Structure 1
Amino acid sequence: MQQNSVIRSNKDRTEATRSALLNAARRLFAEKGYAETSTPEIVRAAGVTRGALYHHFEDKVALFRAVITQEYRAVAEEITRSAKTEPEAAVEALKQGSRGYLKAMADKGRVRIMLRDGPAVLGQREIDQIDRETSADTLRLGLAAAMEAGEIQRLPLDALTIQLSALFDRAALAISEGDDPNNHIEVLDAIFLSLK
């Protein structure tokens, strides 16, 4: 019994240390960017040792990869939450999901991490892979459902997903720089309707 509590407390400490590192790194990457954030700074902000950082993450890039993956998951959760408004049609779910995406991306730190630093640090291929594993599949599944329901024309699904995903990212970047989100929502809605 006592051994179980020791194992549990070790596991809890490990999770707490990892969480502290991820939270500190996320905050610093969002505020300063990847290039301007040092590992000693992350360690200080997390309140852990440098050894703890390298126990959990091979290097700063691995830590950044973990942070960006969390960001992509958070965006996917917001998209899913937004699209679950009991829409009457698959296209309506796509429209609600696009609003969820823009809402999730309203955090300028998230835009910096995912859309600016992510491709520069990890490369577009790895970002695309993280996106596919976390949030892009929500768009792909929504488009497939709309095609299946006959609400939009049948087009090459992968190409359509890639192109619309890029469009969403550009809208998020523009909004983070001060564009009116309603203008982008209006355009995104029109694009979905044009696919009929």
Structure 2
Amino acid sequence: MNAGRRTQAERSASTRGAVIRAARELFGQYGYGAVSTVVVAETAGVSRGALYHQFSEKRDLFEAVFEDLERSLVEVIGAAVAESHSDDPIANLIVGCLAWLRASTAPEVRRIALLDGPAVLGWRLWREIELRHTIGLVENALAGAIAAGRIRTQPVRPLALVIVGALDEAAQYLAHSDDDAAEDTAAIRSVIEQLISGLAVDPGSRSAVKSGQVG
């Protein structure tokens, strides 16, 4: 009986995964409003009944897709930081932010995360999901940099939101850059690097950092 229940659970997980993958591809390519659940079910190779067994409505499916996308972004950012092999929190912040910027210029990410996300889910839920994933990753990196004495002690969340806002605006700018894409990308990279580097303090100034006297 236990084995049978596990098999059913595995089938359910497989169906759910197939639906999310299909919906993510379709939402990313055509946008939430242009994609019906009928098309999602057909693309996933499941019945509409199976789809609605997993997701009671289209908006719930979009929420799952957005959460899946956010997890993917965290993996991409984490891999970039790991590949940098740096022990400096500031250098890792720069690498992570640039990795997020690169990922955010992809049409799928821009459509789902930046355009449809706030409109479909509402700003509060959209931000709540980001806080669990990408923004949470930035917060952890900033907290680590503060603990290491590389950034002056200050509230982490407001700082993370300012950085994320800059990245989102930069991604939108690059997404609409046609004529001088390479030049614009280089300019934006330079701005992001300067923004993060500007937060840094000398590691030797740890006591001043902790007391809030630096900067």
| TM-score, with structure 1 as normaliser | 0.92
Q: Structure 2 residue aligned with 1:189, among 190, 193, 197?
A: 193
Q: Determine if contact 1:105/1:111 at 8 Å carries over to the other structure.
A: yes
Q: Which residue of 2 aligns with 1:32?
A: 30
Q: How many residues align?
A: 194
1:188 to partner: Cα distance: 0.6
Q: Determine if contact 1:82/1:99 at 8 Å carries over to the other structure.
A: no
Q: Which residue of 1 aligns with 2:20?
A: 22
Q: Which residue of 2 aligns with 1:159?
A: 158
Letter aligned with residue 63 of structure 1:
L
Give ranges in structure 2 of 5+ residues lacking alignment.
Answer: 201-215
1:48 to partner: Cα distance: 1.3
Moved more, 96-105 or 109-118: 96-105
Matched, 1:111 2:110: yes
Q: Determine if contact 1:24/1:46 at 8 Å carries over to the other structure.
A: yes
For residues 6-17 of structure 1, what are the structure 2 equivalents within 5 Å?
6-17=4-15
Moved more, 107-116 or 139-148: 139-148
SS in 1 for 2:32: coil
Q: Determine if contact 2:70/2:133 at 8 Å carries over to the other structure.
A: yes
Q: Structure 2 residue aligned with 1:63, among 50, 61, 64?
A: 61
Letter aligned with residue 146 of structure 1:
A
For residues 38-117 of structure 1, what are the structure 2 equivalents within 5 Å?
38-84=36-82, 85-117=84-116
Q: Which residue of 2 aligns with 1:142?
A: 141
| TM-score, with structure 2 as normaliser | 0.84
Q: Determine if contact 2:98/2:192 at 8 Å carries over to the other structure.
A: no
Letter aligned with residue 55 of structure 2:
F
Give ranges in structure 1 of 5+ residues lacking alignment.
Answer: none
CA distance in 2, matches of 1:135, 1:118: 14
Q: Which residue of 2 aligns with 1:177?
A: 176
SS in 2 for 1:150: coil
1:86 to partner: Cα distance: 2.2
SS in 2 for 1:35: helix
Moved more, 99-108 or 85-94: 99-108
Q: Which has the larger radius of gyration?
A: 2
CA distance in 1, matches of 2:60, 2:176: 28
Moved more, 34-43 or 99-108: 99-108
1:156 to partner: Cα distance: 2.3
Q: Which residue of 1 aligns with 2:124?
A: 125
Q: Determine if contact 1:90/1:145 at 8 Å carries over to the other structure.
A: yes
CA distance in 2, matches of 1:88, 1:13: 43
